[in-house]
Amino acid sequence: MLFTFLSLATCLDNGLAKTPPMGWASWEQFKCTINCWPFPSICISEDLFVQHIDRIVEDGYLDAGYEFVNIDDCWMKSKRDSKTNRLVEDSSRFPHGIKWLADYAHSKGVKLGIYNDFGSQTCSGYAGSEGYLIEDAKTFSEWGIDFLKMDGCYSNPLDQNDAYPGMMYFLNKTGRPMVYSCSWPAYNMEMDYSPIPEFCNLWRNYVPDIHPNWESISAIIDYWGNQESWIQLAGPGHWNDPDFILVGLKHGLTQIESETQFAMWAILAAPLIMSNDLRNIDDWAKEILLNKEIIAVDQDKLGIQGRRISKLEEQGQVWVRQLENNELAVALLNRGDSKIDITAVFESFSEHQTFAIRDLYQHEDLGEFTTNFTANDVPAHGVRMLRLVPK
């Protein structure tokens, strides 16, 4: 029966993620590298996460709002403990244990996240949570986990309609607040989407996974340009998740494409979960990730997800997000392969006709404009990210 747990708990009452979560996760950069002998610096291990906790704190990311360091797949053994049925970390790679790592993160002011899967095994073949939701919720609570990402590989999509709400209930029962990230709709696209915000703080619903190329980024942006029903579900405490921020990932996006991804995720009120190597990141990428003006757009307390207002000739698009105090964030996006001019006509998205406009990448006040604004020579795959204040 759909949503059996409605009788137990009618809403997600953890009080978390009132703005989109921000942090770092291991998956896209490090995948499931577990052989630490030839690859000690990039394997999924205690050292990797300690070093990234340190980088989050020492390099200014925590001050900018990136508070989570999230362990993705491949941290655990392939089988549960034979006596307790509990999940067990791979002690060869996590010699002090996950609780120790959580304590270390907390001592630095950072929060620790972890990954598991509702199926019989995780996407990479490790022990899943099927049949053990209560035990795993207790384990994560006792370890001091602050963020749980639950995947859905090797599970029946129909079972997820009970399992995802069920895990929310068991997490709440532990008494420990944990941000709850669901992959529920990504595996079950025919479901009724409207109840998801009652059970999840954020959710993935676009497949396939993000990849570090323009084709993937632009496909995700296009998807959200056509998802009015999903957009309406986002708000404080519950967010659409278009996947990781790939800014700084080596051999991936160009600087222009990286600026575009970061700006568009802010327009989408998306979680800003980086996946890169913070120990080895270009200065330009760090500058994008620490752009406090664009982060402020993403973290706007109204929590209204932005929308595509118009698609223009030559691949130009206008996206708008409502902010506090009647202000607006506007992204003028060039999806094409050559530079173009893009014009935003104010009456297409606002009752106000005069705005003071600020460029959020150039950190420059552009002046006051009436009826419209034109960005000249927006580069291929690029964006002009603006903040509009009505006058």
CA distance 153 to 149: 13
Residues 279 and 362 in one domain: no
CA distance 46 to 48: 5
Residues 191 and 115 in one domain: yes
> 97, 91, 93: which is closest to 37 by C-alpha?
93
Residues 149 and 258 in one domain: yes
Chain mean position to CA 51: 21
Is the per-residue pLDDT at 5 higher than 70? no
Chain mean position to CA 345: 31
Q: What is the pLDDT of residues 177-235, one digit of tens each?
A: 999 999 987 776 667 788 899 999 999 988 899 999 999 999 999 999 999 888 999 99
What's the CATH code of the domain at 355?
2.60.40.1180
User: Helix, strand, coil shares of the chain as percentages rounded to 5?
Assistant: 30, 25, 45
Is the per-residue pLDDT at 159 higher than 90? no
Chain mean position to CA 155: 23
Residues 258 and 361 in one domain: no
Catalytic residue among 117, 151, 241, 298: 151
**Choice among 1-10, 66-75, 342-351 with the minimum mean pLDDT:** 1-10
Task: Assign 156 a pLDDT band (cuts: 50, 70, 90).
Answer: confident
Catalytic residue among 13, 81, 192, 209: 209
The domain boundary residue, chosen from 275, 298, 321:
298
Instruction: Show the beta-strand stretches assigned E in 134-243.
Output: 147-151, 179-182, 202-204, 239-241
Q: Look at strands 272-274 and 22-25 and give their pairing.
A: parallel
Could you tell me which residues come within 8 angstroms of residue 312 by beta carbon, excluding any fewer than 6 positions away? 318, 342, 343
Chain mean position to CA 113: 13
Residues 292 and 177 in one domain: yes
Number of H helices and number of E strands within the chain?
A: 12, 16
Residues 311 and 286 in one domain: no
What average pLDDT does this structure show over 14-40? 97
pLDDT averaged over the chain? Answer: 94
What's the CATH code of the domain at 232?
3.20.20.70
Could you tell me which residues come within 8 angstroms of residue 94 by beta carbon, excluding any fewer than 6 positions away? 45, 46, 75, 101
Residues 179 and 312 in one domain: no
Q: Cβ(364)–Cβ(386) under 8 Å?
A: no
Please name every residue paired with 367 in a beta bridge, in sequence order, or none if there are none: 357
Residues 246 and 370 in one domain: no
The pTM of the full predicted model, rounded to 2 decimals, is: 0.96
CA distance 21 to 112: 12
241 is catalytic: no
151 is catalytic: yes
Q: What is the pLDDT of residues 316-339, one digit of tens each?
A: 999 999 999 999 999 999 999 999
The domain boundary residue, chosen from 298, 323, 358:
298
How much is the pLDDT for 160?
84
Is the per-residue pLDDT at 1 higher than 90? no
Is the per-residue pLDDT at 391 higher than 50? yes
